[in-house]
Amino acid sequence: MQSTRSTASGLVVVLLSSGCVTHDTARMQRARANYQAKQLAGNRATDAAEQTSPPSGIPHSAFRIPHSVTRLAAVQDETSPMPEPGEEPTIERGPPGRLFTSIKHDFEAMWGDVWSDTKLVYKDPTNLAILLTAGGVSGALRPEVDDDIEDKFDESHAFSVGFRDALGIAGNPGTHFALAGLWYLIGTETGDTKTYEVSRTLFSGLVINGVSTMILKVAANTDSPNGEQLAWPSGHTSSVFTFAAIMHQSYGHVVGIPLYGLAGLAAFERLDDGEHHFSDVIFGGVMGLVVGHTVATGHRPQIFGGDIVPFADPVNGAGGIAWTKGF
């Protein structure tokens, strides 16, 4: 064995049941479509700038091309080359403009983003395998494990009432939508494209997670420890993990790690306050991670730099999901 010789190996850890092969082309298709849209918008913006001049007596700075045209055109000019197959294009959704001139256009465009991101999340076989596995684990925890954990919290609480209330607010989906709105306001008014883009991604991810959570709640129609209906999955948990995952992908570990810690505390508060069973929280957390990571990156979630992929054992026919990392 030569010490100087480079080698490569793969580590595969089998987790749990049912999966299939994945094809990761949706992000590239959407990027190419966005690229072509930006080129068209650039042509229109150029024509508008050439053909339009301010009326006499009105300062040029007060005469603006409509933001709905310029927002898509300004990031990338017409001379930028098309990405090669397999190349990851770096195209933003567009720079921000004035708040009140951009809200209407962005609100209309948001639903297209939501639909495209929804397909990214739920048409990926790996994401479906992760969610199905988490659902199976969640079901296996009911009722014995859930009841045992509920009894522990009935005997004593880990947090004070005030701290539980604060964590309840931190995990509330309304809080996350409010923060997305704040990010949108800051990005639009300051001209910070990154902040603007993160706000758009937050809105898309939170909407997808919220609708998905409500559909599952109505379909399952389970009760919480305090007797309330529509318990599974935990909406607070799924929303706070969606928010944390998007912010992590956008700003890195410095922001992501504290937010994941806060998300864990918010999920624990759901148990401590009797609002949810352990199984509700487990599935809610997994769904939030899947939605958040996929919407923010266009790819399936990664854990410690490794991919989560479907797995099938050809010997005994068992299947599941696996964590893989190349060395």
Q: What is the pLDDT of residues 230-269, one digit of tens each?
A: 999 999 999 999 999 999 999 999 999 999 999 999 999 9
Tell me which residue of 326, 327, 325, 319 sits closest to 15, measured CA to CA. Answer: 319
For the ranges 5-14, 47-56, 191-200, the one whose mean pLDDT is highest: 191-200
d(CA 295, CA 288): 11
pLDDT given for residue 59 in this prediction: 39
- Selection from 17, 88, 15, 23 nearest residue 308 by Cα: 15
Cβ atoms of 51 and 45 within 8 Å: the answer is no
Note whether 34 and 91 are within 8 A (CB).
yes
- What tokens does 158 get? 């880990």
What pLDDT does residue 277 have? 97
At residue 55 the predicted structure's pLDDT band, cuts being 50, 70 and 90, is very low
Higher-confidence position of 112 and 99: 112
Mean pLDDT value of segment 152-166:
93
**Does 110 score more than 50 pLDDT?**
yes
pLDDT in tens, 16-37: 333 333 344 455 555 555 555 5
pTM of the model: 0.68
Q: Tell me the helices (H) and strands (E) count for the chain, helix number first.
A: 11, 4
Highest mean pLDDT among 60-69, 195-204, 304-313: 195-204
What was the pLDDT predicted at 312?
A: 55
Give the angle 161-163-164 at the CA atoms, nearest 5°: 65
* Model confidence at 56: pLDDT above 50: no
**DSSP letter at 79?**
T
Nearest to 137 by CA among 279, 292, 296: 279
Among candidates 188, 52, 105, which has minimal Cα distance to 180? Answer: 188
Q: Which of 268, 256, 210, 205 is nearest to 235 (CA)?
A: 210
Asked, as a colleague might, if the bond just before 81 is cis with ω within 30 of 0, I would say no
10 Å CB burial of residue 219 (0-12, 13-18, 19+) is exposed
Domain boundaries, the chain: 26-95, 116-312
